[in-house]
Amino acid sequence: MKRNILIAITSVSVLLSAASTSLAQVAGSTELGVAAAELREITKGWSAKRQILGQPVYNDKNERVGEVEDIIVAPDKAISYAIIGAGGFLGIGKHDVAIPVNQFKISEGKLVLAGATKDTLKAMPEFEYAR
């Protein structure tokens, strides 16, 4: 009887310790994942996949000047540049350019790059990924 109680207490202890460590998994000394409070904050942010990538970019005259092709994350984890596909049709004549994200505004749910035209974007140096 005492042995069964000891086994039950040990089992509960193992289950409780497993439950508490599953919330903050550790690999070496680095915690993996995020806490529940932090997760709530994250959900208030923007999703690159759902709300930015593939979205059209307009100028301040409401003319479509390109589309967001990619987002570049700098080594310091800051989003630094949006890669905008300017011109081209079905990939022919496409010209990608890097635009600092602080130059964009959101207006009426649209990404706006004030002062941009298709010609000014095509005149910019073409962005090419490092090999």
The burial class, CB within 10 Å (0-12 / 13-18 / 19+), for 52 is: middle
Task: Please tell me the CATH code under which domain 48-123 is placed.
Answer: 2.30.30.240
Please state the length of the chain.
Answer: 131
Ordered by start, the domain boundaries in the chain are 2-42, 48-123
Strands (E), 35-104: 56-58, 64-73, 79-86, 95-100
Q: What percent helix, strand, coil does the chain show, rounded to 5?
A: 35, 30, 35
Read off the pTM.
0.64
Render each residue's pLDDT in the chain as its tens digit; 131 residues. 434 333 333 333 333 344 444 455 555 556 678 787 787 777 777 677 777 899 999 999 999 999 999 998 888 877 789 999 987 665 567 789 999 989 999 899 899 999 999 999 999 999 988 87
Contact criterion met (CB below 8 Å) for 57 and 105: no
